[in-house]
Amino acid sequence: MTASDATQQKLRAFIERIENLEEEKANIANDIRDVFAEAKSDGFDVKAIRAVLKIRKLNDAERQEQEAVLATYLHALGMAEE
């Protein structure tokens, strides 16, 4: 086996691993879509669920900062509760 053969095999292995992961990613995306569809059919608001998921990814400081910015913007637009 020459060095170029080894390099080609290594490249092929990387490509195949990436292809397998892309397939898994597509399957997971389909599963997530199914769960959202199920939640919607049970009467849940999918937009609200997405917002909750986004918020849950934030740490407390990031969440508080975003809430403060949002409150500031709403107040500036006259949309905030006094």
In tens, the pLDDT along 39-74 reads 999 999 999 999 999 999 999 999 999 999 999 999
Whether pTM > 0.75 for this model: the answer is: no
pLDDT at position 55: 93
Tokens linked to 74: 């709403």
- Three state DSSP letters for 2-31: CHHHHHHHHHHHHHHHHHHHHHHHHHHHHH
pLDDT at 16 over 70: yes
With tokens 């490509």, the residue in question is 15
- DSSP state letter for 33: H
pLDDT at position 82: 63
pLDDT at 81 over 90: no
Q: Is the dihedral of CA 9, 12, 16, 18 positive or negative?
A: positive
How much is the average pLDDT of 6-17?
Answer: 97
The rounded distance, in Å, linking the Cα atoms of 26 and 32 is 10
